[in-house]
Structure 1
């Protein structure tokens, strides 16, 4: 072999030596644990179309098996509402829940799941993705070593189940109600005894009279829990959660250990499940509500307008007070409300007009 061939062979050999570790690094398999605030088998929140189970399947398929995520329902690895701390400390890599459960950690967290009288699914998703909401979410969670993102959305939820009818805001005073998030603070200001219970504890508490009323999600999910067997008055206004984001949080050190392509895959899978889960809710709630009313003896109706007006007055004050106390809350609040103002104008000349015309012309001709 001549000198030129020896040099060429050496270069190829060196390139091979450099390339081999790079290939090995590219093929590293990450095996993560993902806990969940909801019980094993829960549709939407754990299994089914657009669920965290589907999210894990999508990530595995898109990554060619390089990122494998094992999901644990509430109680299987940690208690239902300890996921925030578990991911923050690095005990597990991921958790699925709703950000309003972490109001005790930071009041601002609640804005990223649901704001009473707030944005609908389209508006909430638009704020997160195009209105600065996602960056604010990351800023709020940065001190806790967390990377947050949306992984699901129920759309508008129902006001909830009541053992007795309510006709005025005076009927709310002394009522014991399961209700999380900012809405709980609004109800509390009107004299409601607010309870924070995981989904699996709602039915027995309502059935035994430990609570007088309860909010969960919507017709399909509520029927599955059997809430109609414990209360028959179902208020449908949904003022408290006009949209409800399911949150995925990732431990920051674990996130930063992923190569860029796997990070992109996680975000793409979360975006896909955010849409699929919402459309699944839209496809299942109508039938469930029909069944509850026609076959289960449920009385479904909007809250009286006077109660809604009072709730809105108190809500505005609760939000204003919180924003005045904390600069970060104020920053998130002002961003959310500014975006809502713009989105409301568009919704007012698009979907609102369409829905109004459909109602007034239905059956005509």
Structure 2
């Protein structure tokens, strides 16, 4: 007789019980393996401040990012959006995030220009990129992100993690009492801008004043400045520029491309599980795409409204002024690449510029050769009498 069987060849009772127990256990184990391993931790809420006034479309773009994070995170992580000044001023955001006073924030790299001028290369680079989407291509696929991390982590040792997001169109030359028809008119002009554009306009002879968005219109109204740029028709309209100036000069090379920056405190970010880190990164990509579509609708409508209902004269910057800007860029770049004030000054600035130039030569060559002229097709369909 075989061990574990009765004389009739049937399994012994003990074996039957063992097999039944094993079968049940196996089903339970299979069910356990099949179930997703989801943490049931309590919701973590982070304070996330923008550098924009609450009424500005830029704050709305920040909210679009926050909404995506809060939706995708499924209750495990929640960002609480605050407007500029709620905790710190716009230009103090990166320090507040680095210290942990804020958990994160939404701004632009040019605002940290005072820490290292190379910061402005990440978002407001010289006008060698065809558009801001090409800048994002360089950042994520051309080595830009590694250089950005070298700047914030190794050179400045700022305790933040950052993503670039949200491609902006070319920024206007700005708002003035009278048209800018010649480059000589810029000399002595008290003009608001930020980042490398400040060096550019200094080279052109302007007296540059750097102000956050919410302070520009009051300064223009009081005569503290003679002219100013901020960014786009929707922001400019809601911030009140048409109430204090009527000449709106569009097209410029001072900020040909720019993108937003999303920042988080590095220690808090590093402590997150991988899936929540992924949520923060991929939500910035999704919000970036959505912003590029939304701005097409809003910017075009607001430019038309200012011209048609608010008496704004929308004028194209004359070519001689644009050419003067390009010559000034040559001088600014040469000066900053040769800066020997510190080991992390000119050498790193040139390292980033070299990387950008290599990308733009290849990518811009491709698009200039590959794309048919949109001007030709537009004129064919829409410019006929």
Paired position in structure 2 for 1:239:
253
Paired position in structure 2 for 1:316:
330
Paired position in structure 1 for 2:103:
93
Q: Does 1:113 align with 2:113?
A: no
CA offset at residue 159 of structure 1? 1.4
Which structure 2 residues correspond to residues 269-288 of structure 1 after superposition, within 5 A? 269-288=283-302
After superposition, give the CA deviation of every residue in 1:112-162 in whole Å (9 maximum; x if it has no partner): 111242320221121122111122212211121221102323322211111
The total of aligned residue pairs comes to 353
Q: Does 1:68 align with 2:81?
A: no
Paired position in structure 2 for 1:346:
366
Q: Structure 2 regions of 5+ residues with no counterpart?
A: 1-13, 340-345
Paired position in structure 2 for 1:140:
151
After superposition, give the CA deviation of every residue in 1:47-76 in whole Å (9 maximum; x if it has no partner): 2xxx22222222122121111111111111
2:68 is aligned, of 58, 70, 73, to: 58
CA offset at residue 23 of structure 1? 6.6
Which structure 2 residues correspond to residues 248-263 of structure 1 after superposition, within 5 A? 248-263=262-277
Q: Does 1:46 align with 2:59?
A: yes
The DSSP-based 3-state class of the residue aligned with 1:248 is strand
Distance in structure 1 (CA, Å) of the matches to 2:267 and 2:327:
43
Please say if residues 117 and 195 of structure 2, whose CA atoms lie closer than 8 Å, have aligned partners that are also in contact: no
The DSSP-based 3-state class of the residue aligned with 2:135 is helix
Paired position in structure 2 for 1:335:
355
Distance in structure 2 (CA, Å) of the matches to 1:27 and 1:350:
51
Over 6 Å off, 4+ runs: none
The DSSP-based 3-state class of the residue aligned with 2:261 is strand
Q: Does 1:358 align with 2:378?
A: yes
1:81 is aligned, of 91, 95, 100, to: 91
TM-aligned CA distance change 1:352 to 1:113, over 3 Å: farther
CA offset at residue 357 of structure 1? 4.2
Which structure 2 residues correspond to residues 209-224 of structure 1 after superposition, within 5 A? 209-224=223-238
CA offset at residue 90 of structure 1? 1.9
Paired position in structure 2 for 1:181:
195
Paired position in structure 1 for 2:135:
124
TM-aligned CA distance change 1:350 to 1:234, over 3 Å: farther
TM-aligned CA distance change 1:145 to 1:167, over 3 Å: same
Please say if residues 118 and 241 of structure 1, whose CA atoms lie closer than 8 Å, have aligned partners that are also in contact: no
Distance in structure 2 (CA, Å) of the matches to 1:62 and 1:163:
47
TM-score, normalised on structure 1?
A: 0.89
Superposition CA RMSD, Å: 2.6
TM-aligned CA distance change 1:89 to 1:352, over 3 Å: farther
TM-score, normalised on structure 2?
A: 0.84
Distance in structure 2 (CA, Å) of the matches to 1:304 and 1:336:
27
The DSSP-based 3-state class of the residue aligned with 2:314 is strand
Distance in structure 2 (CA, Å) of the matches to 1:252 and 1:84:
12
